[in-house]
């Protein structure tokens, strides 16, 4: 896969030289280049921003340097490379999107700063790219760079050969819409805390049940929205008994939180 990142802070993307993604680049699995937006300006001051039409706070990124940069890195327009534009107003980035993006031959990331990029750049780019405004989550960052670090890592680890143990990816792809169970390693007793006894029992059915219960408990506690999205067919008798204990009714429509007494 080829990935191009355009930013006024190319040094911000330095972590992409490290760890799994850095290794994938060294191994030739990932051709990743970071470009400085200012190198596509033509004025003496290398200007990338200006005041917003209609007034309001802050500055907006000028269209001309962006069009030059995207035309230069865009590759084959007939191949419809994906242009990902991090934005607080984007569609939420999800694991499903990471799988989808991992299939593309080329991803281009446009990192905005200030109040964002002149909207006409996205309209123009739609003639050359599959344009995707994407948000990392519902909080405000100062620019697209941190979002790109997260998205490149999420997509990069799905590329064939990048993750050392592909079994973990297979397990992940069959994940059941619940949060992970807690994990433990040696020593079995640490600072007065013993690991759950069942994990030493060698009883694999009991261990599986324990882990499933822990998944349901922490999902109900931390992400009740995920519990309400579970398909009733995916819930066995023990799941239903625990969900009842946790305050859910399980009917044909799936689990629903009972009204507080």
Q: Which residues bind ligand JEE (CB under 6 A)?
A: 86-88, 90, 112-116, 135-137, 139-144, 147
Least distance to ligand JEE, CB of residue 229, Å: 22
When the beta carbons of 74 and 133 are compared against ligand JEE, the nearer one is 133
When the beta carbons of 145 and 239 are compared against ligand JEE, the nearer one is 145
Least distance to ligand JEE, CB of residue 222, Å: 20
- Which residues have C-beta within 8 Å of that of residue 105, sequence separation ≥ 6? 1, 2, 79, 81
When the beta carbons of 58 and 196 are compared against ligand JEE, the nearer one is 58
Phi (first) and psi of residue 67, to 5 degrees = -65, -40
When the beta carbons of 57 and 183 are compared against ligand JEE, the nearer one is 57
- Which residues have C-beta within 8 Å of that of residue 230, sequence separation ≥ 6? 177, 178, 254, 255
Least distance to ligand JEE, CB of residue 140, Å: 5
Q: Residues 99, 105, 109, CA angle at the centre, nearest 5°? A: 75
User: For residue 136, how many C-alpha atoms fall within 13 Å in the half-sphere facing its CB?
Assistant: 18
Q: Rounded to an integer, what distance in angstroms lies between the CA atom of residue 160 and that of residue 245?
A: 42
Least distance to ligand JEE, CB of residue 102, Å: 18
């Amino acid at each position: 896969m080829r990935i191009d990142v355009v930013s006024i802070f190319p040094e911000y993307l330095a972590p992409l030289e490290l760890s799994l993604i850095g290794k994938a680049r060294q191994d030739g699995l990932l051709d990743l280049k970071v470009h400085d937006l200012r190198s596509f300006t033509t004025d003496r001051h290398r200007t990338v921003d200006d005041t917003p039409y209609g007034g309001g706070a802050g500055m907006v990124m000028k269209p001309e340097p962006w069009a030059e940069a995207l035309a230069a890195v865009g590759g084959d327009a007939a191949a419809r490379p994906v242009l990902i534009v991090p934005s607080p107003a984007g569609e939420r980035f999800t694991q499903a999107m990471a799988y989808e993006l991992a299939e593309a031959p080329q991803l281009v990331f446009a990192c905005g700063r200030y109040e964002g990029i002149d909207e006409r750049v996205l309209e123009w780019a739609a003639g050359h790219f599959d344009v995707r405004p994407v948000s990392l989550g519902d909080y405000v960052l100062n620019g697209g760079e941190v979002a790109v670090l997260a998205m490149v890592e999420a997509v990069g680890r799905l590329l064939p050969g990048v993750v050392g143990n592909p079994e973990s990816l297979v397990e992940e792809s069959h994940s059941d819409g619940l949060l992970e169970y807690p994990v433990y390693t040696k020593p079995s007793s640490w600072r007065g805390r013993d690991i759950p006894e069942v994990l030493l029992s060698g009883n694999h059915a009991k261990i599986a049940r324990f882990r499933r219960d822990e998944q349901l408990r922490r999902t109900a506690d931390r992400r009740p929205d995920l519990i309400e999205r579970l398909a009733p067919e995916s819930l066995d008798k023990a799941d239903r008994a625990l969900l009842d204990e946790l305050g859910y009714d399980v009917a044909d429509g799936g689990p629903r939180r009972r009204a507080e007494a």
